[in-house]
């Protein structure tokens, strides 16, 4: 696990979109866990939950990992001898319904500052049909949807990019034509760290679990496409042979909310003084449950250091 949750108090000029960018969250992440708050006019003196804790995705901790349901990118720099594993994480936008970001393992094949955007013919047709025709190319500048930095992936014969944006308010949403879109400041920080050839894994993991210090932690996000029936298998994979007291009703509630806030849903059963699991901050239920595929290689409780980002 990495990061920490916070509670912040708004001042009169705040918006949830500005605060999301400040705390490295997608706008929907912050809006989802603060129901009933006007995202444009939250008002002064409003206390907001800022969900900053994240369970690391399953699989190898190397290169770049993008968890699509979570709308989040994780980058693992090459570890230094004797130093803890480090991870840097950022919110991202992903492909919308008819333009899904592909799953699988790929790599960075090229990097470009101040890129020119050449809209694919399919995208130009879509915009033309909507009465918003696009030119054959868009030079670098404030009207370029790629922002100032772009990294090309091998996936799709090079048609997918990790890039910035000229519309930061949409970061964290499923709004792209399949590319991975980042806040301008975030992509500017990540770009110099990434070498051509860096591995990129694009995964679909709506539910993540971790067994840390005798507590079973659960993090659930609105699903892309999976089966909730496998949740129990994930719990067994996380705790192994340890005897635990699982609060099943609360776990189902966390899955139904799918708000991304980490919750403790089980404790080691051999501790008679262990408190009951504590509910996460309240949030409106999500419209769907959050299924998952059980991790096959996800060790829990590794020492992880998160550099400032």
Active-site residues: which are they? 163, 179
Distance of alpha carbon 175 from alpha carbon 159, whole angstroms = 16
Distance of alpha carbon 26 from alpha carbon 58, whole angstroms = 21
Please say whether the beta carbons of 151 and 196 come within 8 A.
Answer: no
Distance of alpha carbon 191 from alpha carbon 206, whole angstroms = 27
Other residues' Cβ atoms within 10 Å of the Cβ of residue 276: 10
Q: What's the start-to-end Cα distance of the chain, in Å?
A: 16
Strands 174-176 and 94-95: parallel
User: Which pair of structure tokens corresponds to residue 173?
Assistant: 């949403």
Show the DSSP H helices in 49-107 as ranges. none
Distance of alpha carbon 217 from alpha carbon 267, whole angstroms = 9
**44-76 per-residue burial string, b: 16 or more CB within 10 A, e: under 16:** eebebbbbbbbbbbbbebebbbbbbbbbbbbbb
Q: CB-based contacts of 38: which residues, under 8 Å, 6+ apart?
A: none
In terms of Cα–Cα distance, which of 138, 137, 120 is closest to 176? 120
Distance of alpha carbon 297 from alpha carbon 62, whole angstroms = 13
10, 36, 64, 160 from 26: Cα distances, Å: 18, 18, 18, 21
């Amino acid at each position: 696990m990495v990061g920490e949750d916070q509670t912040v108090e708004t001042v009169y000029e705040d918006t949830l979109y500005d605060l999301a960018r400040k705390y490295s969250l997608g706008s929907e992440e912050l809006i989802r866990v603060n129901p009933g708050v006007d995202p444009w006019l939250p008002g002064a003196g409003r206390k907001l939950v800022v969900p900053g804790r994240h369970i690391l995705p399953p699989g190898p901790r190397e290169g770049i990992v993008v968890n699509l349901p979570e709308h989040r990118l994780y980058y693992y720099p090459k570890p230094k001898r004797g130093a803890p594993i480090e991870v840097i994480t950022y919110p991202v936008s992903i492909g919308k319904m008819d333009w899904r970001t592909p799953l699988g393992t790929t790599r960075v094949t090229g990097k470009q500052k101040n890129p020119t955007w050449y809209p694919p013919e399919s995208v130009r047709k879509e915009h033309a049909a909507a009465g918003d025709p696009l030119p054959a190319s868009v030079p670098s500048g404030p009207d370029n949807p790629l922002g100032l930095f772009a990294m090309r992936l091998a996936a799709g014969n090079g048609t997918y990019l990790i890039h910035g944006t000229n519309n930061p308010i949409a970061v964290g949403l499923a709004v792209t034509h399949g590319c991975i879109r980042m806040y301008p400041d975030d992509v500017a920080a990540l770009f110099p760290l990434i070498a051509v050839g860096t591995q990129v894994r694009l995964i679909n993991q709506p539910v993540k679990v971790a067994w840390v210090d005798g507590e079973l932690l659960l993090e659930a996000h609105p699903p892309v496409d999976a089966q909730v029936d496998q949740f129990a298998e994930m719990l067994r994979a996380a705790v192994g042979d340890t005897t635990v007291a699982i609060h099943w009703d609360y776990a189902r509630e966390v899955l139904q909310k799918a708000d991304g806030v980490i919750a403790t849903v089980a404790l080691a059963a051999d501790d008679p003084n262990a408190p009951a699991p504590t509910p996460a901050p309240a949030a409106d239920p999500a419209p769907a449950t959050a299924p998952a595929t059980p991790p096959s290689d996800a060790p829990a409780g590794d020492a992880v250091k998160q550099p400032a980002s």
